[in-house]
Structure formats: C-alpha cells, structure tokens
Structure 1
Amino acid sequence: MFYQLYEMNHAAMAPFRAAADAMRFFYDNPLNPLSQTTAGRAVSASLEVFERVTRRYGKPAFGLGGTAVDGRAVPVTEEIVWAKPFCNLLHFRRDLPAGRAEDQKILVVAPMSGHYATLLRGTVEALLPHADVYITDWIDARMVPIVEGRFDLDDYIDYIVEMLHVIGPGTHVIGVCQPSVPVLAAAAVMESQRDSMMPASMTLMGGPIDTRINPTAVNKLAEEHPLEWFRDNVIMNVPWPQPGFMRRVYPGFLQLSGFMSMNLDRHLMAHKEFFEHLVKNDGESAEKHRDFYDEYLAVMDLTEEFYLQTVDTVFIRHSLPKGEMMHRMTPVDTKAIRNVALLTIEGENDDISGLGQTKAAQTICPNIPPDMRMHYMQPDVGHYGVFNGSRFRREIAPRIVEFIRKHARAPAGKTPVKRVINGGKAG
C-alpha cells in the first residue's frame, strides 16, 4: 500500500503545485513592480522551491546535438538501433566528413540502479569527440506492462551480449558503477564460448566487483539484512493506472530517499543556497542547481527479480569474486578472460563503491596479459566524479580514450548496424 499512498500524495499535491506555479508567474512578471523588490523575489523563490521539492521529475533528455571532431563542429543525432521491453540501445550518430576513418566503437552500459541513463550525459559528451558511442537506455519498470515478462540479472547479461553483437566486432564496453558486475560476467561468458563478438576492451568504473573490500554504508545495509527483509520491505506492486500495473518493483523513490538521506545536510544546504540565489537574482547559479536536481531527482523503478538477484549475488553472497556466480545455470569463469583488455577506475573518496572494490577485477581475471591491463585511481573525487565533472573530463576520459585506442582489436570500419525493434529478429 505504500506505493499507492505515495501516488495519492503526489496527486493530492497537484492543485497546490499548480497554484504555486501561477503565483510565481505573477511575482516574476516584469510588469509587476513587486518583481523588482527583494520581498517579491523572496516570495517567488519560496514558491519555486515548494514546487520543485513536491514535483515528480520525468526522464531528462540527453540534448547532445553536436560535438567537435578534429577541431570541427559536427551534428549528432540520437537513434534507437535495438530495442527490447526493458532497454533501448541508443546510438549517437555523428555526421562525420566524407572519407574520414571511423573511430572505435564504445558501448557505455549505464547503471540500472534508480537513475536514467542521462545521468551519464557528461560521460557520453566527453567521449563523443573521440569515439562512436552507444549507450544502454534502460526503461522504467513501471512503464513496462506485466505481460512483457520478467527481467533479472541473467537477462541483463544477455542484453549486453546481444548489444555487442548488434554493434559489431571490436567494440569496447564501459560499465559505470552497478553494470561493472554484469559487464565482467558478459565478457567471461563470451570468452568461454569463444564468441567472435567479444569486446576488445572493458572499462569498469566505480563498480561493486568485491564489496567485502572497504565496505560502504550501502554495502553494510545489504550485509545486515537477509534477502527476505528486502523482499518484505522494499518490493511493492506498481499502482494503477501505470502501464506496469501490478508488476513487482523496487520503487525509484525509495532508492532516491536512501541516497538523499546519506547526505541530507548537503541537499538541504543546496536548496537553501538555491533560494538565496533566486532572491539575489543570481540566475546562473540557480540554473546550475536546476540542471543538477532535474537529473538527480528523476528516478525509475527496477523489477523485483533484478533487484533481489543483484542484492543477493553482488552484496550478500559476493558470488563473482568467490568464483560462484552463475549465468543460466552455467558458471561465470572470470579466469577464462584472456583476450579482453581491462581498465579499472576508482575515485579516492567514493562512498558508494569503496576504494579497492573495482580494482578487485584485476585479481579475479589473472589470465589477462599484463600489457592488456591497467588500474587508475583518481584523487579527490567521489562516486559521481568518477564518471562526470571537470576531473573526469580532464584526467579520466583521456585515459579511457588512450586505453581503447591502444587495445583496438581491428582497424575501425563501418559496421552495418542491425536494427532490432521490440524484440524482433535482427536484420
């Protein structure tokens, strides 16, 4: 019933949000003399803060309409090149000059942990000048009708394998945070099967490969409760009239509440400063706040089976580093990985995936040759800074690009992209 109460509360607040919006427009109107006063701006700021903290944030847009390649501006077009009920594969197609050699292809596997793939907008933006970029655009589970079936960690791994087949040989894959485990598992599965479409390299960033190392608050929460506790306390039915009505999910608003509570004082201070920026008419600082929280507060639901299997496999049983992880009843053997180069990246102050958890991939993949592996720890950044922000652009992204170019398996060339829509056959 908790999810239903959440929806009812949101609906009940709608008239108040509408009234706040109307009053704010009145106080912001340049023809209103009060809009030029501190008191008028304070009223307007209060109304905007109220509306923003009570609204539901929809999925943001990537908005990457262009990039610079070889110092020249080129347009970028988003296109869906593969689709299944729980994920679309987005391709950021760059309109390159005729005759220019193709860059290496990168599949960015975005986290399926509550936020949309647009959280990696900065990651994609930094890679676009140097590579042909694709990204997993996961779909909110509450928007997927129950007749579309289940989606669990095994399906996640299958999706990664299918997408690598769609993009073509020699693709480089990047797993950001949560996907580090299924990306590594997918590489192991493909190596074991001698799959010709196995990635040329995999980059794992801030991921929970072995959460026994430097456990964070998130890790300890999982270890302190049995799996049944999570099933009984955080799994709920999607309420009517959502398309996924009656699907069992881990609601995004619960995940967001957990993240917010970890740094509640910081978020409260940010909103206080936002109010002050509005009163002082500091539009640039206020817009930065809006941009960040428009992204941060936009959340999606996860299917019950995916969430519980991930908690059990990654955080409770530590199956991957112990060599006990299974995929479709087949062992995931990370020792089989010999031909996929490995780059692991961590942030010094990461409070989600503790220092050393991602580096553990280097240990459990002992048969990757030394000249095909690299680890990098970025000083003075937290979890978000591992894949976004100025230090990512300046320090981390160039290392990723250099590593990918070094370990290109074959000359980059135009690979016909197969389009699979709504689970149909590739063609």
Structure 2
Amino acid sequence: MYYQLYELNHAALQPARAYADAIRLFYSSPLNPASATTWGRSIAAAAEMFERTTRRYGKPEFGIASTVVDGKKVRVREKVVWSRPFCRLIHFERALPATRAPDVKLLIVAPMSGHYATLLRGTVEAMLPHADVYITDWIDARMVPLSQGSFDLDDYIDYLIEMFRMLGPGASVMGVCQPSVPVLAAVALMEARGDKSLPSSMILMGGPIDTRRNPTAVNRLAEEHGIEWFRDNVIMQVPWPNPGFMRLVYPGFLQLSGFMSMNLDRHIIAHKEFFMHLVKDDGDSAEKHRDFYDEYLAVMDLTAEFYLQTVETVFIRHDLPKGEMTHRGEPVDPAAIRSVALLTIEGENDDISGIGQTRAAHDLCVNIPPARRSHYLQPSVGHYGVFNGSRFRNEIVPRITGFIAENRGSSATPGRKPA
C-alpha cells in the first residue's frame, strides 16, 4: 500500500515539478534581466530545489569514453558480454594494439544494496589503466516481470560462478561491500568442486564477512529487529504499471530514506549550501552537488527473497563465520580455498562495515598461504572512501594492482597448509 501511495504522490506532483522547472528556466535565462539579480537567482534556486527534491532519479550512465594506458589515451567502449534477467555483465573494452600483451581480467562485483553499479564509476576509472575491467550491472527488480522468476542469495552466487566460468581461469575479482560474502562463498564452492575457472586473486573491500566484530548501527538494527520485522515492515509489492508489477521487493525509495537518515544533518547542510551556491552564481560548486546527488538519489528495488535471505544469513545468523552457510544444501567452507590469493581492505572511519569485519575473511580462509594474503586498513576514510576518491586512487589502487600482479598466474600447492 505504501508503494502505491508513493507512486500516487509522485504522479500528483508532476504538474508542480513541471511548473517549478519552467520558473527555473525563466529566471535563469540570460534573456531575463532578473537572472543577473540576487532576487532572480533566489527564485530560480528555490524552483530547482523543489524540482530536484521531488523528482525520481533514473539510472545514471557510466559515461567512460576513454582512459590512459601506457601513457597514451585510448578509447573505451561499453559492451554487454553476459546477461540474465537480474544482471548484465559489462565489459569496458579498451582500444589497445593487438600486439600488446593482455592485462589481467578484473571482475568488479558491484553492491546489490540499493544503488546502481554506476556508484563504482570512480572504481572502474581507477582500474582501467591497469586491468581489463568487467562489472556486474544489477537490474532494478521493479523492471523484471514476474514471469522471469525469483532471485535470492543462492541465485546471486550462481550468477558469480557463471561469470567466473565465462571469464576463464586466472582472472581477479573485486567484491565491494555487500558482495564480499557471495564472492567468498562462490570461490569457496568452486575450489571445493575442483572448478578450473577459479580467479587468481580475490579482493574484498569494506564487506560484512563477520558483522559480530565492531558492529555498526546497520548491524545492530538487523540483530535487534529480527527477520520477521523486516518481512512485515519493508517488503512491498511493485505497483502497476511497472514491468515487475506484483513482485515483492524492498523498494529503492525506502532504502534511500534509510541512507539519508543516517547522516540527515549532513544532507540538510549540503542542500542549504547548494541553494547558496546557486544564489551566488557559483556554478562549479553547484554542479558538483548535482553530480553527487544525481548518483546518490538514483536507487533500485531489490527482490524480497534476496534481501531477506541476505539479512538473515549475513547480519542475523552470521552463518559464514560460524561455518553454517550453505548454498542449495551444499556447505560453504572458506577453508577449501587454497589457490586463490586474498586481499582485504577496510576504512578507518567506515560506519557501514566496522573495522575487522572484512579482515575476518583471513580467519576463515586458513589454507591460503601467508605469502598470498594481505590486509590493508586505509586511514581517514569512511565506507565510500574505501572504493572511491583521492585516497582510493592514490593509496589503495597501487596496493590492489601490486597484489594482483604478484599473484597473477601463481597458485598454492594443493593440500598445503600455511605454517
């Protein structure tokens, strides 16, 4: 019912949004003398604020047209190389000489936690000079018809295994935040089965491997309420006329309200500053605000079965660190991993995945030799800074690329345990 009311309110505000946009255009037009006055810019700013705070933000584009490889600018083309109802695999194909030795294939597994994969645009841009990059482009659940079936955590792991097999042995995988658990599970299952398509290295960044360690507000919320509370309070049906009509989902707008409430004062201050930038005609600062919130406010629905299974498995029961996680009845044993190198990365000020939660992977993957595992704690960054921003580019990326290079094509001796 709440989802239907949300859609109704959004539709009802459409005329007001159109009127506000017309007012903004009128008072910001260089043909209007008032646009050069504080009064005119204030009206235009107020109109834009109203339009932006009541609109629905669509899926952004990656928009990566080029990168620099070996000191030369090369063209980049997006190409969908694998597709299923709930995910596409995008390859950022670089126009490199055919005679050049190929770089390692890097699968970046984007979070399926509300935002689109474009949230990792900066991650992709930073890795493109060093690797042949692929990324998971998860599909908004409200856009997937019921006829396409369901999608849960087990399906997620199956998707990853299919991607590894398509990329072939020797690739690297980077799990950013939420995917750390399914990435570790997929690799453990493949190693236990003797699958030859294993990646050479696995990078887990700011992920909830063991949320009992240094729990954050997000972790405590799950434990305090229990799975039935989430089932009763956040699961809704997709309303008509969306393609996923009647599908049970965790709606994007509800997730966004949770994101915003965690740092509400910061968002209020940011919008107040945005208004003042517009009034002062500070175009650069205003554009930075638009760029950030165009991405941040673009959210997607998650299938109910995926969301509930993830909350219960990862945040309530802690199945993976307890050794109780299964995939379609098959035990998930991280100790089975012997030939895949492991790098974990955390942020000192991460308020989503606390310090130690990602590092816990090392305590589970006991049969990876010490020489093929590493952990790095990045000072002075929060959750977002683990995979984006200047410190990520300058301090974290060199460690990732160095680790991948050191472990490319190498493997541990089967059956060998670390000393």
TM-score by length of 2: 0.97
Whether the aligned pair in 1 keeps the contact of 2:168 and 2:198 (CA below 8 Å) is no
Task: Provide runs of 4+ in structure 1 moved above 4 Å.
Answer: none
2:337 aligned partner: 337
Q: Distance in 2 between matches of 1:125 and 1:403?
A: 18
Q: Distance in 2 between matches of 1:117 and 1:328?
A: 27
1:347 aligned partner: 347
Partner SS for 1:338: coil
Q: Distance in 1 between matches of 2:251 and 2:105?
A: 33
Provide closer, same or farther for how the CA distance between residues 52 and 44 of structure 1 changes in structure 2, counting only shifts above 3 A.
same
Partner SS for 1:352: coil
1:313 aligned partner: 313
Within 5 Å, give how 1:263-412 maps onto structure 2.
Answer: 263-409=263-409
Q: Distance in 1 between matches of 2:287 and 2:166?
A: 39
1:410 deviation in Å? 6.6
Q: Identity, % of aligned pairs?
A: 73
1:187 aligned partner: 187
Within 5 Å, give how 1:194-213 maps onto structure 2.
Answer: 194-213=194-213
* 1:56 corresponds to 2:56: yes
Instruction: Compare 139-148 and 94-103 and name the one that shifted more.
Output: 94-103
Q: Summarize deviations over 1:199-236 as a string: whole Å, max 9, x none.
A: 11100000000000011010000000121111110000
Q: Distance in 2 between matches of 1:365 and 1:410?
A: 17
Partner SS for 1:91: strand
1:169 deviation in Å? 1.4
1:424 aligned partner: none
Q: Distance in 1 between matches of 2:169 and 2:211?
A: 32
1:159 aligned partner: 159
> Quick one: which amino acid aligns to residue 103 of structure 2?
D
TM-score by length of 1: 0.96
Q: Distance in 2 between matches of 1:172 and 1:43?
A: 52
Partner SS for 2:222: helix
> Quick one: which amino acid aligns to residue 38 of structure 1?
T
Q: Distance in 2 between matches of 1:284 and 1:158?
A: 44
1:285 deviation in Å? 0.5
Partner SS for 2:3: helix
Unaligned runs of 5+ in 1: 412-427
* 1:27 corresponds to 2:17: no
Q: Distance in 2 between matches of 1:220 and 1:251?
A: 21
Q: Distance in 2 between matches of 1:109 and 1:203?
A: 10
Q: Distance in 1 between matches of 2:203 and 2:304?
A: 28
Unaligned runs of 5+ in 2: 412-419
Instruction: Indicate the structure whose relative CO is greater, using CA pairs within 8 Å and at least 6 residues apart.
Output: 1
1:152 deviation in Å? 0.3
1:178 aligned partner: 178
Q: Distance in 2 between matches of 1:82 and 1:151?
A: 17
Q: Summarize deviations over 1:231-262 as a string: whole Å, max 9, x none.
A: 11000000000000000000011111111001
Q: How many residues align?
A: 411
> Quick one: which amino acid aligns to residue 179 of structure 1?
P
Q: Distance in 1 between matches of 2:261 and 2:20?
A: 26
Provide closer, same or farther for how the CA distance between residues 196 and 123 of structure 1 changes in structure 2, counting only shifts above 3 A.
same
Q: Distance in 1 between matches of 2:410 and 2:85?
A: 32
Q: Distance in 2 between matches of 1:188 and 1:352?
A: 25
> Quick one: which amino acid aligns to residue 207 of structure 1?
G
Q: Distance in 1 between matches of 2:201 and 2:52?
A: 42
Q: Summarize deviations over 1:341-375 as a string: whole Å, max 9, x none.
A: 00000000000000110000011111100000000
1:230 aligned partner: 230
Partner SS for 2:299: coil
Within 5 Å, give how 1:89-168 maps onto structure 2.
Answer: 89-168=89-168
Q: Distance in 2 between matches of 1:135 and 1:373?
A: 23
Q: Summarize deviations over 1:127-164 as a string: whole Å, max 9, x none.
A: 00010000000000000000100100000000000001
Q: Distance in 1 between matches of 2:336 and 2:98?
A: 41
Structural RMSD (CA): 0.9
Q: Distance in 1 between matches of 2:409 and 2:160?
A: 19
Q: Distance in 2 between matches of 1:93 and 1:168?
A: 17
1:409 deviation in Å? 1.5
1:12 aligned partner: 12
> Quick one: which amino acid aligns to residue 182 of structure 1?
P
1:98 deviation in Å? 3.0
1:167 deviation in Å? 1.3
1:39 aligned partner: 39
Partner SS for 1:203: strand
